[in-house]
Structure 1
Amino acid sequence: MYVADRTWPELGEYVAEQSLAVVPLGSTEQHGPHLPLSTDHLIAESLARAATERTGHLCTPTIHIGVSPHHRQFHGTMWVDPPAFRSYIESLTRNLTYHGIDRVVYVNAHGGNTVHLREVGRRLRDDGEAYAIEWMWDESIPDLVNDIFEHNGPHGGPKETAMIMHIARELVREDQLDSARDGGVVSLADADPRKFGARTFYDAADNTENGVLGDQTDATPEKGREIFEAATDQLVHLLEWLDAQPFESLLPKPHVDPQPGSRR
């Protein structure tokens, strides 16, 4: 159920019986010469809408801009600073709790958002307001992704390319797949991202001239459909599991005995 397409009486019927919402999040940032800047938020929204159509749960509008300063050297990349992002997501989620939502799944397709979503989720859980967790699509099907693509690549690689080929093929510059591969870094090991155990890079441009990693020529719409359907299945399972949990079981466990001050 997509919230923006509903009337308020229809949503009243939902919150009278249900308490789970899905929030898709991504970014608007460079994804090489072959993929649109909308790649991450298109993937997040498509997966969230597909899963909630199957389960009947509430899906909010998509958050299009995330924490992406590490792509700032490339034209068109947009970002918000981490404190502003965390504040916005927390405020949005507290808004949902006002309407009766007490559990939220952040359907995330941008790695730069992950740690901040986890922090927001911890705050909400510690306050007893909501149980909010982050879900990253490729982390739900790691074995499948690694089996399908020889040189996967964490950004702008074949997994994201195949996904967009499936979701919106007209946005993929297929004549640029060779140049994306040849101008980027096919193997992450070749980017030399660490030295003596330290992360010596801060920006994507420190590792790759055209902003991408992996072999984009290995992507096909058929592979995109396979990983899209597999990830959607995983998200459906997560929503069904979370919906079935008693809210009290999702809150922080009590302090171990003896309780502080119990002997005073």
Structure 2
Amino acid sequence: MYLADEAWPDLERYFDEESLAIVPLGSTEQHGPHLPEGTDHIIAEGFARAAAERTGFLCTPTINIGVSPHHRQFHGTMWVEPPVFRDYVESFTRNLAYHGIDRVIFVNAHGGNVQHLREVGRRLRDDGTIYAIEWMWNESIPDLVDEAFAQNGPHGGPKETALIQHLRPELVHDDRLEAARDGGLTSFDEATMRQHGARTFYDAIDNTDNGVLGDQTDATAETGRRLFEAASDQLVDLSEWLAARPFAELMPKDHV
């Protein structure tokens, strides 16, 4: 069920009978010369809607702009400051609690949002309002992602390219995949951009001239389909697991 498509009287039964909502979040930021700036929120909404259709749980509208100042040097990147993002998401989620939701899955497809969603989840759980957790698709199927690509990348790489080839192929510039690879960073490890144990970079452009990492030519729509289906299964299982938990079990334990 997609909340924005429903008339308010038709939502009453859901709020009376169910307690879980799925909230997609992403970003609007550069994803190299080959992918749309909406890559992250397209992916998040794809997973959230697919899980909602399969389970019957409620999917909210997507939060399209996240914490992305580290991509600001590239044209069109949009962002909000971390405190603004946290307060907005917290307010948005408390709104769901007002209607009777007491557990939320943040279906997140942008790494810059992670720590802030975790902080919001803690705030809401600590005051007993709601249990909210953050989920990222690639973290639910790490072995499959690693097996799929010789040179994976955390941003604009083959895994995101493959998913957009599957979800929105008309938005992928397939003729730029080699340029994306050759102008980005394909060889990197834990020591990249570190000095004597310190992480020395703040912005994506400090690492990669065109904003992306990995070998984008490894991506195919078929691989994207396999990744999407496998991660969707994980999100469905998580939704059903969370819905089945007694609310008291999800709240903080008493002091010892």
**TM-score of the superposed pair, with normalisation by structure 2:** 0.99
**3-state DSSP class of the match of 2:100?**
coil
CA contact (8 A) 1:191 1:207 kept: no
1:140-219 to structure 2, matched below 5 A, reads 140-189=140-189, 192-219=192-219
Is the Cα contact below 8 Å between 1:106 and 1:135 reproduced in 2?
yes
- Aligned counterparts of 1:158 and 1:188: Cα–Cα separation in 2: 15
- Is the 8 Å Cα contact of residues 155 and 213 (structure 1) preserved in structure 2? yes
**Residues 53-77 of structure 1, C-alpha deviations (whole Å, 9 max, x = no match):** 0000000000000000000000000
**Partners of 1:6 and 1:190 in 2: CA distance:** 47
Helix, strand or coil: the match of 1:188? Answer: coil
What runs of 5+ residues in structure 1 fail to find an aligned partner? 257-264
- Residue type matched to 1:142 in 2? P
Compute the displacement of 1:188 (Å).
2.1
Q: Give me the whole-angstrom Cα distance separating, in 1, the residues matched to 2:216 and 2:176.
A: 9
For 1:30, what is the secondary structure of its paired residue? coil
| Aligned counterpart, 2:126 | 126
Shift in alpha-carbon separation, 1:250–1:190, aligned structure 2, 3 A: closer
* Residue 28 of structure 2 is aligned to residue 33 of structure 1: no
| Structure 1 counterpart of 2:239 | 239
How many residue pairs match? The answer is 256
Return the alpha-carbon distance in structure 2 between the equivalents of residues 184 and 190 of structure 1. Answer: 17
| Greater Rg over alpha carbons, structure | 1
Give, in angstroms, the shift of residue 191 of structure 1. 8.1
Matches within 5 A, 1:10-25: 10-25=10-25
SS at the partner of 1:133? strand
Question: CA 1:190 to 1:32, structure 2 compared with 1: closer, same or farther past 3 Å?
Answer: farther
Determine the C-alpha separation between the residues in 1 that align with 2:113 and 2:83. 11
Contact 1:185 1:191 in 2 (8 A): no
User: What amino acid does structure 1 have at the position aligned with 2:139?
Assistant: E
Instruction: Tell me the secondary structure at the aligned position of residue 37 of structure 1.
Output: coil
Q: Secondary structure at the match of 2:186?
A: coil
What are structure 2's unaligned runs of at least 5 residues? Answer: none
What fraction of aligned residue pairs are identical, expressed as a percent? 73
Q: Deviations over 1:85-133 (max 9, x none)?
A: 0000000000000000000000000000000000000000000000000
* CA–CA separation in structure 2 for the residues paired with 1:68 and 1:99: 31
Where does structure 1 differ by over 4 angstroms across 4 or more consecutive aligned residues?
A: none
Q: Deviations over 1:124-158 (max 9, x none)?
A: 00000000000011100000000010101000000
Distance in 2 (alpha carbons) for counterparts of 1:145 and 1:45:
20
Separation (CA, whole Å) in 2 of partners of 1:188 and 1:97: 43
Q: CA RMSD in A?
A: 0.9
* Aligned-pair CA distance for 1:162: 0.1
Superposition TM-score, scaled by structure 1 size: 0.96
1:74 alignment counterpart: 74
Partner of 1:137: 137
Q: Secondary structure at the residue paired with 1:187?
A: coil
Matched residue, 1:43: 43
Aligned to 2:134, what secondary structure does the other structure show?
strand
